[in-house]
Copies of this chain bind each other. A is one copy, B any other.
Amino acid sequence: MPGRVLIVSDTISSMPELGRRAKAASRLLAVASTDLKNLGLQAAADALESDTPAILHANRSDVAAAEAAGMEAPLVDRLRLDEQRVSGMADGLRQVSLLADPVGDITRTWTRPNGLAMSKVRVPLGVVAIIYESRPNVTSDAFGLCLKSGNAALLRGSSSAIHSNLAIAAALRRALSQVGLPADALVLVDDTSREAATEFMQLRESVDCLIPRGGPSLIASVLANATVPFVIDGAGNCHVYVDVDADLDMAIAIVGNAKTQRPGVCNALESLVVHRSVAGTFLPALVGALDGVELVGDAEAQAADPEIGVASEQDFATEYLDLKLSIKVVGDLSEAIAHINATGSGHSEAIVTRNEAAAQRFTQEIDAAAVLVNASTRFVDGEEFGFGAEIGISTQKLHARGPMGLEQLTTEKYVVQGTGHVRA
């Protein structure tokens, strides 16, 4: 067991003990009423607001340490809290209290020929572990979604945000106790060592699901070290395919929106695929419309407009998260589909076309969490889908695929009612 692990109370516990505490709390949360969980969310929101001075004080020390250590400005900005951001976290909890509670939903009932009455019931996962990087708002956001779905949240943030996270968690835990919910519905691990991260990913006795929220190195560490079940919130190398039958004005609007509306997020466009028959018209028009975006493409794309630079093979596999776009010209829909399936990350892929048959083939054959027809990839997130909130966007196929809301934080249980049935 590496080091000692402090919880937000003054108790010092080992990592397995923290897991057991979260597990014990999860048993109580699983049978907590929707009203009580909502009361907890509202109390937690109030506590964040009343603790704002303490949270901002803690955050200032994190920000000062980060700046002294030379952290890049955009990362410092993610770390920094102000009154408005804390108030936003509180509002987020209140919004989650308004969402429908998925726990207890009976998703299917049937009767077997032998008379056994079968049902399938939605239940919480149990303990949801989240390991995340610098944004301290994840502490509150993840806790809220876990609580509403009846799960205990076992959280492990980054060392750069530790003081902020401890202050936030202290407020949330106090609120839980106030309404009669177990404070251990939120357990924050404050050992931010690498050894503790590995031990955290291997708490098979207590963790039912691990969700990493962070960059490629965190994901790689989960793949290498985790023994608990996990859901990967992975990269988004998203494509838009402009078909031979596209409305080209619509295509320019969609490509512009998907690329530039918020380039740093996972559902932003990274790579454009254009049908050969329209490339000569479309690409020069796009160059005119996409001011400030660096464009690189294959030889055909370069030939279409002198502003388009040279793309390497690596470019087509790169999630820029920046104002840069790779462009590939293809001969037909089949080639477009094969290229996207080969280079995409299974996140969000769009086609622009007026041809219904082409749209149908694209939606059927593209292997991704979300496939869009005549719409920007930017729509792929929990709020835009109507889920109310999201804890991440899964790029794997098991359990949850695409935006993960409250329902994806649950599992199902079979309930079998007999009258003395024995098997012959």
Contact = CB atoms under 8 A, between A and B. Distances in A.
Contacts of A208: 396-398
Nearest to A222: B227
Given A257-B423, A386-B110, A401-B412, A418 B229 contact: no
Interface stretch (A67-75, A156-164, A321-329, A360-368): A360-368
A363 B30 CA distance: 12
Contacts of A224: 227
Nearest to A374: B418
A126 B397 contact: yes
A418 B378 CA distance: 12
B411 A398 contact: yes
Contact of A257 (B229, B385, B422): B422
Given A208-B396, A254-B422, A373-B417, 18 more contacts: A110-B386, A208-B397, A223-B227, A229-B232, A253-B422, A256-B422, A368-B413, A369-B414, A370-B415, A371-B415, A371-B416, A373-B418, A374-B419, A375-B416, A375-B420, A380-B414, A399-B399, A402-B413
Of the candidates A116, A208, A223, A420, the one having the most CB atoms from chain B within 10 angstroms of its own CB is A420
B402 A399 contact: no
Contacts of A385: 112, 118, 414
Interface string A381-414: 0001110000000001111011000000001111
B369 A413 contact: yes
Copies of the chain in the assembly: 2
Interface in A161-175: none
Contacts of A112: 384-386
B418 A116 contact: no
A76 to B, nearest CB: 27
A149 interface: no
Give the contact-size bracket for chain A.
35 or more
14 contacts: A110-B386, A126-B367, A204-B223, A229-B397, A253-B420, A370-B413, A373-B416, A373-B417, A375-B418, A376-B418, A376-B422, A398-B399, A398-B411, A401-B412
A292 to B, nearest CB: 17
A14 interface: no
Interface of A: 27, 30-31, 110, 112, 116, 118, 125-126, 204, 208-209, 223-224, 227, 229, 231-232, 247, 250, 253-254, 256-258, 261, 341, 359, 363-365, 367-376, 378-380, 384-386, 396-399, 401-402, 411-423
A396 to B, nearest CB: 5
Nearest to A411: B397
A25 B87 CA distance: 52
Name which of A369, A412, A415 has the most chain B CB atoms within 10 A of its CB. A415
Contacts of A364: 30-31
A116, A411, A414 pick with most chain B CB within 10 angstroms: A414
A219 B163 CA distance: 39
A374 B420 contact: yes
Contact of A420 (B247, B369, B398, B419): B247
Nearest 4 CB-CB pairings of A with B: A375-B418, A257-B422, A399-B399, A397-B411
Contacts of A27: 341, 365, 367
Contacts of A379: 116, 416, 418, 421, 423
Contact of A421 (B367, B374, B414, B417): B374
B423 A378 contact: yes
A416 B370 contact: yes
A398 B401 contact: no
Contacts of A341: 27
Contacts of A110: 386
Nearest to A338: B27
Nearest to A224: B227
Contacts of A125: 397-398
A422 B247 contact: no
Contacts of A257: 422-423
Given A125-B397, A386-B112, A399-B398, A250 B420 contact: yes
